[in-house]
Structure 1
Amino acid sequence: FQRGAVDGLNMIVPHGDPIYYRERPRIAVPEKDVLDLDGYFGLHPRLAVLKPLWDSKTLAAVHAIGSPDATRSHFDAQDYLESGTPGVKATPDGWLNRYCQHDREHQDTPFRAVAFGPQLPRILAGTAPSLAIDDLQAFGLRAPQPAARDRLTRAFEELYAGSATGLLSTSSREAFAAVQMLKRLDPGQYRPANGADYPGGRLGKALLEIAQLIKADVGLHVAFADVTGWDTHVNQGATEGQLAGRLGELGQALAAFTRDLGDGMRDIVVFTMSEFGRTVRENGSSGTDHGHATAMLVLGGPVQGGRVLGKWPGLDPAQRFEGRDVAVTTDFRDLFAELLARHLGATDLSAIFPGYTPDPARFPGAISA
């Protein structure tokens, strides 16, 4: 999750449209620096490490994607993206948790659904068990001295053994079972494969730990990570600067993850999302303000890559949303529903996205049917 609203126009650049350059005299990525993808769109140069994935057709982009709700509030838009119910604030759970509630095949492991961060995100909140792990090595029972930690562990083991009494909640049982499994895995000994070099920072660390759990075969089915810093109102930059730095970290982390997993990526799909995009026109502070549609990336073995997906609305003022933003032509629920249905085998999509009926005819085509 790119929290803060990534500028999709500088991530997947419409370098073939002169309006892009006219509206962004200071922050447009120069055409000579754009990594061309199809003659019209191109990658920001700080995402160059992802170009081989595009060339191998395991990376796609979906442009002009977003929420049908017009809010420009970070809080509301993130809530709608994670709940899967745009415009409805009362939804109690997240759409990934609802998927887990309806998936009956992967319930025998505490690592079925894991968020990598200090707290459980909205997208995984709900009745299906899930975990929040801020650090694999530190995840567990904390006490200052080993002897005290051992006593605490034994006490929890006794409680866990008697959990049929109902004294231990489901979430507590899941967490303690995860602690016991991690003790056997010894995550501190993990070394990335194939020369993968994860960047420092929160995202690189999260993807490295996701790779660890995948390789450990502990039953990880869905994983979530987020990274902040995308709200570029001031001094956004073009090939260098604030946005370029964030894109560089994103690209390096995704490239390291795919290299680390190697052939394992044939069964894995990774996608990015952000609550909305940025204005077409740069502002007076060499930045961009809150917009509407953005761009999302989808990568992995099952992806029909090498394409920019979605219906491109154009940048002409008459084609923009409210005369200022890229218009939404793909509802984010259609992409998410496609990933759930075609990659994870979900069938009851209307239960996962209440109030909406996903239609395969509207799927952007990221995954083979």
Structure 2
Amino acid sequence: MTTRVSRRSLLQASGLTLVPSFLARAAEQVPGGRRRVLVTLFLRGGVDGLSLVPPVGDADYHRARPTLALPASGEGAALRLDDTFGLHPGLAPLMPLWSGGSLAVVHAVGLPLPVRSHFDAQDFIETGVPGMRSLRDGYLNRALAGLPPERPDTFRAVALQSTLPRALSGPEAALALGSLADFRWRDTGRGASFAALYAGAVDEALRTTGAEASDALSLVADHRLAAMAPANGAEYPRVPVGRSLQDIARLIRADVGLRVATADMGGWDTHVGQGSVNGPFAARTRELGEALGAFVQDLGPRFEDVLVVVMSEFGRTVKENGNQGTDHGTGGAMLVLGGGVRGGRVVGPWKGLAPEHLLEERDVPSLTDYRGVLSEALEGHLGVRTLASVFPGFHVVPEARLRLLGA
């Protein structure tokens, strides 16, 4: 008698989340050369862009933040980027990228409408259509459909997260896994092999999902991916974001067909006791800087094929609050790093922090739509052909292009 296995039990037993459908699609092998990879790192909680990339040359910044402002010089000073901006000292591992022209900062960037709810802002950013609540698929999933024809690899799109983020949800195949070390078939205690469970699947959706899972598990085992040591002397911090970026680097170095990878990092909702050069914000920033620095070092020459976009759902208020923290704001900062970046620049319009330039007299306004940054990444780096379907209703006028990539 054939054992009936539910879709849910099979996926739970494998420790894997998969997005249907894994139906066979006609695809072509990408012509010679290494594949380019886009990595998005979402800082959840609303990161304070004015502390991540502080405008230390702006007197209004120091007036608005008597205890939180980083100094422009001396002990605990921000790392100088230009006459206006510095980088939080916790991001020191990224300074060689800045000096080498592989790191750019986009400031005063965010949603085109003020949304100060974590849930709503994250949802609008990941669906790619701000203000529309009915859309279920994500901008990255739609972008996968707009890539040039290529072989449909199992690891084409991967979220190093326990659940699939909204950005990758949709009809295109994507994997979500907490880590490569946990990505293995777990013995159910019945002695049933993965193949036997797959053969007993009760519907075609489960069969195709099971086949894809089997391929993925085989690749992890064959390449010994979970045991692959970092290259070039890289040392990742032993924190979740470090482990996620290390696994993404493993997939890139193993050349298993990765094109899009996502990860996230929480802990940025700093309402109380935020700190400046020390404190909770500084600790998280050090983890971020060390993880990204190790990722770049680990990849070595392969970093030329990679673009990393670091973003958050919104920024924080310009003025610190009574609890020496900051509250939900609007415009924030994004980091863009990679071999093809026209870096060493803070790009996008910036009006300063004088009261007359603030949104509702409290926030940095979103002078650059986040979709403009992602559009350049998807089109210029990945070669996505159909941006109109990725970000419906959004159009970038030529004079507003940031020109983040290229010579």
Give TM-score, length-normalised by structure 2. Answer: 0.86
Give 2:356's aligned residue.
Answer: 318
Give 1:67's aligned residue.
Answer: 111
- Name the SS of the counterpart of 2:377 in structure 1: helix
| 1:301 to 2:345 alignment | no
For 1:167 and 1:21, locate their aligned partners in 2 and report how far apart those are by CA, in whole Å: 58
Change (3 A) 1:173 1:153: closer
Q: CA contact under 8 A between 2:148 and 2:383: conserved in structure 1? A: no
Give 1:100's aligned residue.
Answer: 144
Unaligned runs of 5+ in 1: none
Give 2:267's aligned residue.
Answer: 229
For residues 114-166 of structure 1, give each alpha carbon's deviation from its aligned partner in whole angstroms, at most 9, with x where no partner exists: 00011101000000000001121221321266x93xx3223146469xx9x82
Q: CA contact under 8 A between 2:147 and 2:382: conserved in structure 1? A: no
| 1:14 to 2:55 alignment | yes
Displacement of 1:314 in angstroms is: 1.2
Give 1:142's aligned residue.
Answer: 186
Amino acid at match of 1:127: P
Displacement of 1:181 in angstroms is: 1.3
Q: CA contact under 8 A between 2:47 and 2:312: conserved in structure 1? A: yes
Change (3 A) 1:173 1:355: farther
Give 1:83's aligned residue.
Answer: 127
Amino acid at match of 1:205: R
Displacement of 1:274 in angstroms is: 0.3
Give 1:338's aligned residue.
Answer: 376
Amino acid at match of 2:135: T
Give 1:168's aligned residue.
Answer: 206
- Name the SS of the counterpart of 1:168 in structure 2: helix
For 1:345 and 1:289, locate their aligned partners in 2 and report how far apart those are by CA, in whole Å: 38
- How many residue pairs match? The answer is 363
Amino acid at match of 1:358: V
Displacement of 1:174 in angstroms is: 2.5
Displacement of 1:363 in angstroms is: 2.2
Change (3 A) 1:88 1:315: same
Q: 1:42 aligns with which of 63, 67, 86?
A: 86
Amino acid at match of 1:137: A
Q: 1:247 aligns with which of 285, 305, 310?
A: 285
Amino acid at match of 1:132: A
| 1:25 to 2:66 alignment | yes
For 1:283 and 1:132, locate their aligned partners in 2 and report how far apart those are by CA, in whole Å: 38
For residues 229-285 of structure 1, give each alpha carbon's deviation from its aligned partner in whole angstroms, at most 9, with x where no partner exists: 000000000100011011100000000000000111111100101000000000000
Q: 2:250 aligns with which of 186, 200, 212?
A: 212
Q: CA contact under 8 A between 2:220 and 2:226: conserved in structure 1? A: no
Q: CA contact under 8 A between 1:65 and 1:328: conserved in structure 2? A: yes
Displacement of 1:169 in angstroms is: 5.1
